[in-house]
Structure 1
Amino acid sequence: MNSFLKKIKMKNILIVMLVAFIGIQFYRPEIVQKPITGEIHAPSDVRAILQRSCFDCHSNQTDLKWFDQIAPAYWLVADHIKKGKKGLNFSQWDQLAPSVQNAKLWEAFNQINLEAMPLKSYELLHPEAKLSENDIRILKNYVTSLAPKQKPDTAKVSAYNKQLQQVNAMHTTASRPSLPTALNGISYIPDYKSWKPISSTERFDNGTMRIIFGNDIAIKAAKEHTTNPWPDGTIFAKVAWEQIIDSDGNITTGAFKQVEYMIKDSKKFVSTKGWGWARFLSPKLEPYGKAADFTSECISCHRPMEDNDFVFTSPINH
């Protein structure tokens, strides 16, 4: 009798599960397929890689497989496409200025090189999207070819010297202005100049050099390998300078371009993934963004690193 009741119970459970499975198929978030306004023009081998590994989520040419159509997988795919096209859409390439196009390609390659893209959950069901070492080499060569050709540039040296004079003048001014503040309330943090470097990067697309500095909490976390997640109180300052190359081919930092901050406070910044974001441009330290929601750009760029607490930086050994 007990065996019979168990079979009836199991049958009822299976029926409920089947009904629920059929029911969820009727909830289908719309995947908006807008027209192609202007595709990326790239060498055939580069385009083939992008089409195979990126276009499903980063273009208006999404090609859903049969298993992508089944909920709940469909919900995940729809969300990936929505977020992916918001950050990068190869089918609307003509809407971006050339400098922005190069920056987007550099960011995309950087995420691919760090194995943050394509998403592992996507690769699991779409193994053809996984990039080989040769694919990565082809993309790197292409992105590098778009970078400004580095050569001795007296104009950059002149701009650097002029900027130094302006900065020195600001420092000798009797009345110091208040610290500039971003639209989300985060103020410029001058103390970063005394922090230790965490890592460094080079932007192929725009000829800048960048050093990431960390405050004492960040340095301690890096030493103790407690960086995923980074502890509250961590602050990164990524500073960018223009590259200058002299007649001997030596590359040094030139004019200051910007400083951007990531501030970890899991409670205060819960709506922005536990991080506060701010960027200040030029020696005038002009806050970046036209509205407080400019941070959505930051989150969109860092989203592929969600499993690494949204941080691209790999700390150097201290």
Structure 2
Amino acid sequence: MIGYYIHHQGLGHRTRALGIARELGVPVTGFSSLGAPEGWPGEWCTLPMDVPGSPVDPTANGVLHWAPLDHAGYRERMRLLAERLGSDISVMVTDTSAEVTLLARLLGVRTVVMAMRGNRTDRTHRDAYDAASLIVAPWTAETAEEYWPREWTDKTVFTGATSRFDQLAAAYAGPAADVTGPSSRRKVLVVWGGGGTEVTEQDIDRARLVSPDWEWTVRTPAHPSPDLWADLQDADVVVTHGGNNAVAELSAAARPAVVIAQPRPFDEQHATVRALRNADVCTALDGWPEAAQWPTLLGNALARGNSGWSRWRHGDGARRAAQAIERLDDVVVTCGSH
């Protein structure tokens, strides 16, 4: 039985987990404070929330990221996890929690860490990555984090971007970026998430006003797309934040893009933007630009085209991750048979 812990911040972790779980050929149980996503292929254990109003020593004097003292929700979620880890879980995937990774390893269960961009050299991340039996990095080896020690890289499977649109992308390559036709009323699609942003509606309105040759469509959690894949394919340029899932879905659609980092712990989105820029994938910025820059930015993104996305993805990231997890599970089964 594969256990799969899914962090409740945002919905990106759950979306990626669903794609990977569907590719698994062995039973899987999800663990999260979020509800089960539609189509989850196995059991789902809903964990109590663990966010107190005034946490007591949540980092254990800097040893951990989140382990508040005297909190019933935290103690109950860890008890539920430990109960299952001590019985029928053979491999535990964490996306993402250093504490759950270390709990599984302390109970003698092999662990898979879903890696995240950014500076993960703090004590807690180092311990979790060091303890993991396998690391799954949802990026290509070509765009890997340069600071990683060799001992992490040696046990990492680089799956490339994992998108819910991978199967659609395989069936439909999408239109090539057109940089030769008339520029009048080209389409720009803004896809913005809900995980915290510095960008306001006024910022987007100002960008729209100075770009009269572009037709702007804005999709947010408050105003979601009825068909995001169709919206992506219809856009001449896509503007989005540097979240892992947003960039992965953009890469599947292979559209010219402007990707803009938003503040996140451990500079996660800034690291993504840096990797995009270093690999010359698309226009990648560390912050929302001044309004007057938008006509040039959109024109440059269109001229750059979409060919760079081939350096970001393999097209079957979820399948590659699932196969790596199954290989680790096979090791457990083989060892258990002796």
Fold match by TM threshold 0.5: no
Please give the range of the TM-score, normalised by the shorter of the 2 chains: under 0.3
Q: Which TM-score applies when normalising by structure 1?
A: 0.23
Structure having the higher helix fraction is 1
The structure whose Rg is larger is 1
Structure with higher RCO (Cα < 8 A, 6+ apart): 2
